[in-house]
Every structure is written in structure tokens, then in C-alpha cells.
Chain A
Amino acid sequence: MAARQKLIGALAFLALAVVAPFAPAWLVSLATIAFANGLVVLGLVILWRAGLVPFGQALFYATGAYTIALLGRYTGMRDVFVMVAAGAAAAGLVAFVTGFLLARYRDIFFAMLSLAMSMILYGVLVKTETLGSTDGFHVATGTFLGYAPQGTAHDLALYWLVLAVCALAALAVATYFDSVAGVLAAPVRDNEIRVEFLGISVNRLIHLKLVIAGLLAGVGGALAALVVEHVDPNMAYWTTSGGFVFVTILAGAGSVAAAFVGSLAFELARSIAVAVFPGEWQIALGTALLLTILFLPEGLGSLVTRLRRPRVLDKVASPKTAPEKPGAA
């Protein structure tokens, strides 16, 4: 079963890579940014499985982006592989350090503390003149192991790079989900004290999840910066984090694929909505989010899983306690 899913995933990525040269340029660049952001969403899916919603994932996103922007500005390093690795390392380091604190918190306090941390970075970036203040600055164009394409060829190369990174990340995260640490996410979400009683440190488990999610967000931010060729403090603002959470909820935490499909669908929907009704696109987004939460609490991905699994089994597999209703008495 798992092997079959991986095969389907690999074929999907291959198909996406093959069709790119024939697709319109705007669609390729949209897909590139969507998949780069999909990496961040993948990280959020890992945390969401354990019941954690960070409203400050933009901290790692912006760290990754600014790292490669600074590399391009102050060093001669132009190779995308080295730059993205550096962005990931920087974000991972920040996640590791902040993780000591963040891993102790749950629920709203986790969300708020991560929000505060990303706003600290935002405040620093806005006030630092050498980093371009609110305007941000330009990101140098990358080269691929000495290959330095221009124009359309560059966009395509970048698209393939993002796809390759996504495929690797998807595989790694799918493996992680099957590991003991990955499977423990649901018990942590349901009742973490019981997990503690099994002799497992929940804090360390969550710390690991934070670092993985931070790494992914760093890679996503680094790739996004390469695509947009510009960084600015808004990458660290809370609305950026909110956008990622939005896609996560919309896509659901059911599978790895949901993160990428959700991110692509979101970018497409947003571009279309902005083009069709520029003044009201946030109303459309808000309505979509609201309807998803109220009627599809497991996300759009659950539509697929529901088809595959008979409903009876579904209920046995995940017994739900009756939802409390305040004021019912």
C-alpha cells in the first residue's frame, strides 16, 4: 500500500516535470511559488497532526529567504544548491533554538508565542536600514552547478529544482509519518499525558517536529526568494503565517500530497479571484475557509480518503467523542 502510494507520488512529480515546458510561463511561475510554499505547508501538516497550529511559521520562512538573499549580496556564492542548503540550515538552527521554548507550550499559547517570535523578526527587519527596511532588497539570480540559464530556461530550471526538492521532502516526510515518532502525533494530540506515561518525552517529540517544520519552512522561503528574486519584511509578518495555516486547514492533514495540491489550488484560486473580483477576493477566501472548517473539518483531502474507506470502518478507526455544545443545558 505504502509502496504503491510512493509510486503514484513519484509518477505525479514526473508528470508535473514533463508538462512544464509546454505550459504557459505564468502557470509555471505560479506552480513554482505554490510548490515552494507547499513545503512550508508540509511542515505545518506535521505540527497540525500533533494538534499544534503555529501562527508564526513565517519566522522560519523569512529566515530561509533572508539567508540566501544575504548570501547573494555579501558573498560570491550563487549556486542554488548551496544557497538553499544554507537557508534550510539557518532556519533549522533558529527552529532548534526557539524549539527549546516553543516545545513547552500547547494550543493557543503555542500559537501566540510563535506569533510573537515571528513578529520580533519582523520588527528587526523593518528597523534595519542595511537590510532594506520595509522595502526589502533584491535577490541575486542563482546558478545551477555552474549552469547559468537566462529567461525562460532559468524559470524552468528553477521549477524543476523546486519539484525535485518537493519530491525529496515528500518522500522523507512520508517516511517520518510511518516512523514511531510520526505515528505518535495523534496520541499526543488526543492525550499527551498518556503518551508521557508510555515513557516517551512529548517535549522532545514536539521539538523534533518543530525542527523538521522549521527546516521545511526555511527551504520553502529560500526557494520562494529565488523565484520572486526579492525579499521584504512582509515575509515575516503574521498574515504570511496566517496564509500558510489557511492552506493547511483547507488541504487537511490527511496526506503528504494534500500539502502540495492544497498549495497549488490556493495559489490558483487566489490568482483567479484577484483577477476576477479584485475588491472581494478576501471575502471568497474567508468563505472558503469558514465552510471548510464547519463542514469538512478534516480538510478537502478528506473527500478523497472518504471515497476510499467505507464509512463504518472510519467510525471504528477513529471514535469521536460527542462534541460539546455550550448552553445545551
Chain B
Amino acid sequence: MLTAFAILTDGLVYAAYLFLVAVGLTLIFGVMKILNVTHGSFYAFGAYGAATAVGIYVERGLPDAAGFLFMILVAMAIGLVLGVILERGILRFAYGKDEVVIVLVTYAVFLMLEDVIALIWGRESHAAYPPMVAAGSIEIGDLVLSNYDIGLVAIAAVVAGLGYWALKYTRYGRLLTVVIFDRETAAAFGINVTVVYTVTFIIGAMLGALGGAVMAPKISVTLGIGVEVIVLAFAVVVTGGLGSIEGALIGSLIVGLCRAAAVHLVPQIELFVIYAVMALVLVFRPYGLFTQAQPRKI
């Protein structure tokens, strides 16, 4: 019973983390049809930015809540700047090329940004754990839960809710849905698709950085975290269906729970269970759980 409960809570926390990194990726793909490898860099920049921010607020002795907020704001600002530079500076020149070729463009940028991170923050690892310690923990029965983890699930839920609300009930969200559905018709009806692309990419970048920022206190911020996270995010997004926010949510829940179950029951298969789930889903639903089949064009 305790194991089942532990699997459930661990799975939820892990799912929250996965959702936060996957949602920006799926948003960018849904609108722009770009599978953005650079998303790993956004995550890493967010995490490094958060580590720096934590360093600053610990030094100044600011209150914890403000420090946490400061950390998130710094990461989002970094995501904003990076998003603008990449979309306006590089990606827009690659629009119209093959989807796979654009993946390679983002891969090239990803390689470059890996070194940029090392140049800015150095090669040693950074710690950002104070917010995690400050949050403390609670005991439910025999299980000790970190309040920070609970907060993580809450943040993921808020992001999911906000995303759903923004897409369904705001003017910009409706425009976005139109562009997702048919870019050319949208442009013909006077929607400025260029602006929609830029804004979407920036939002995606900020979400990626947010994912990195909230995870920073839980991990050791070191080189190569982007490399790991990007394949994870891919797996989640492809499982759920590329370009679908519900897909990212369900995908992260499935993958998160499966991994938590593997960790508690058969730790040997922990690493590959994620990809096994993805492969299994793709066998039966070739385009993921939440994508509708596309008609073939002759």
C-alpha cells in the first residue's frame, strides 16, 4: 500500500516536471511545426539563471518567497531574450524548409548554446537548493513529502490550466488555434502569422526556461542537463501526440507514473521504460495518443 502511494506521489511529481519541460516543446511544434531541439538549451539556461538568482538572494538575505519569485522571473527573462534572438536571428531564415531539416537547424543552435553556457557559467556545477530546503517537508502517514515537490505539481497544474484557458478563451489563443489548424487560410483572413510565430516561440522558450528554473533547486545544475532533458521531453511529447497540450499532459502522466513504478518495483529498467512506453504507444497510435490522422496528399 505504501509502495503504491509512493509510486503515485513520485509519479505525479515526475509528471509535473515532465509536463513543464514538454509543454513549451509541444506548443512550438503545434503552431510552427518545428521540433525544437533548442528546448534543451532553454531548460539549461533557465536552470543556470535560477542558480545565479538563488546565489544573489541568499547573499542579500532576502525572504524565501521573494527569492523563489526572483528566481522564476530571472529564468523567464532569460527565456524571453533567448527566444527573441533565436527566432528573429536564425530560425526565420529556415522557415519553409523540410521539418527534418529544421530539426537539424535547431540541433546546430543547441550545440552552439551548450558551449555558450560553459562560457557564461563555467564548467563547474552550481547548486540552487536553498528554496527546496526553505520549503521544508510534511509527513503523511509514513511517507515524507517535500513541500517543494507539492509546489511543483501545483505549478504544473497552474500552467496546464492557464494554457487551456488561454487557448480556449482569449483572443490570442483563438488566433493561435486558427493558425495551428491551417496556416495559409489564417494568413488569408488577415492574421499576422509572422507575429504569431514569434510570440509562440518566445512563450515556448519562456516555458522551457521556467521548467529549468523550478527544477534547479532539485538537481545539480551542471553541463549536459539540456542533453538529457531534451530526449525526455521528446519522448513525452511524441507519446502524447506532437503539438497537443492535452497530449503533453497525458503523456507526462503516463510516462511519469510508469517511471515511478519502475523505480520502486524493478529499478533495472528505470532508464528505458520511458522509451519503451513511447515505442509501444507509437506501435498502436503511430502519431501519438492525441493526434488525429492526417489525410495523405497526392
Distance A78 CA – B100 CA, assembled complex (angstroms): 41
* In the complex, B162 has a CB within 8 A of chain A: no
Beyond A116-B235, A325-B95, A325-B96, whether A108 also contacts B242 by CB under 8 A is: yes
Beyond A119-B275, A122-B272, A127-B269, whether A239 also contacts B227 by CB under 8 A is: yes
Is the beta-carbon distance between A242 and B193 smaller than 8 angstroms? no
Distance A328 CA – B183 CA, assembled complex (angstroms): 11
Q: Which residues of B contact A105 (CB under 8 A)?
A: 282, 286
Q: Which residues of B contact A53 (CB under 8 A)?
A: 100, 103-104
* In the complex, B192 has a CB within 8 A of chain A: yes
Is the beta-carbon distance between A293 and B286 smaller than 8 angstroms? no
* In the complex, A204 has a CB within 8 A of chain B: no
* In the complex, B121 has a CB within 8 A of chain A: no
B-contact bits for A81-122, CB 8 A (1 contact / 0 none): 000000000000000000001001101110111011101111
Interface-lining segment among B63-71, B106-114, B167-175: B106-114
B-contact bits for A233-260, CB 8 A (1 contact / 0 none): 0000011001001100100000000000
Distance A128 CA – B271 CA, assembled complex (angstroms): 11
A221 to B: closest C-beta gap in Å: 19
Q: Which residue of A lies closest to B287 (CB)?
A: A109
Q: Which residues of B contact A242 (CB under 8 A)?
A: 107
Chain A: residues with Cβ within 8 Å of the partner, total of 53
Is the beta-carbon distance between B269 and A112 smaller than 8 angstroms? no
* In the complex, A323 has a CB within 8 A of chain B: yes
Q: Which residue of A lies closest to B195 (CB)?
A: A327
Q: Which residue of A lies closest to B114 (CB)?
A: A282
* In the complex, A319 has a CB within 8 A of chain B: no
B-contact bits for A301-329, CB 8 A (1 contact / 0 none): 00000000000000000000001111111
Is the beta-carbon distance between A124 and B238 smaller than 8 angstroms? no
For chain B, the bracket of interface size reads: 35 or more
B243 to A: closest C-beta gap in Å: 10
Is the beta-carbon distance between A329 and B188 smaller than 8 angstroms? yes
* In the complex, B248 has a CB within 8 A of chain A: no
A82 to B: closest C-beta gap in Å: 30
Instruction: Give residues of chain B (264-298) contacting chain A, Cβ–Cβ below 8 Å.
Output: 268-276, 278-279, 282-283, 286-287, 296-298
* In the complex, B134 has a CB within 8 A of chain A: no
Distance A290 CA – B195 CA, assembled complex (angstroms): 24
Beyond A120-B279, A123-B275, whether A193 also contacts B100 by CB under 8 A is: no
Q: Which residue of A lies closest to B231 (CB)?
A: A238
User: Looking at B90, B98, B287, which has the most chain A CB atoms within 10 Å of its CB?
Assistant: B98
Q: Which residues of B contact A2 (CB under 8 A)?
A: none
* In the complex, B129 has a CB within 8 A of chain A: no
Is the beta-carbon distance between A127 and B101 smaller than 8 angstroms? no
Distance A112 CA – B279 CA, assembled complex (angstroms): 9
Is the beta-carbon distance between B95 and A293 smaller than 8 angstroms? no
Q: Which residue of A lies closest to B277 (CB)?
A: A116
Is the beta-carbon distance between B283 and A101 smaller than 8 angstroms? yes
Is the beta-carbon distance between B271 and A293 smaller than 8 angstroms? no
Beyond A109-B282, A290-B105, A326-B96, whether A194 also contacts B115 by CB under 8 A is: no
The residues of A with any CB-CB pair to B shorter than 8 Å are 51, 53, 55, 101, 104-105, 107-109, 111-113, 115-117, 119-124, 126-128, 191, 193-194, 238-239, 242, 245-246, 249, 279-283, 285-287, 289-290, 293-294, 297, 323-329
The residues of B with any CB-CB pair to A shorter than 8 Å are 32, 35, 90, 93-101, 103-105, 107-112, 114-116, 118-119, 183-184, 187-188, 192-195, 197, 227, 231, 234-235, 238, 242, 268-276, 278-279, 282-283, 286-287, 296-298
Of all A-B residue pairs in the complex, the 4 with the closest CB atoms, nearest first, are A123-B272, A123-B271, A327-B194, A286-B112
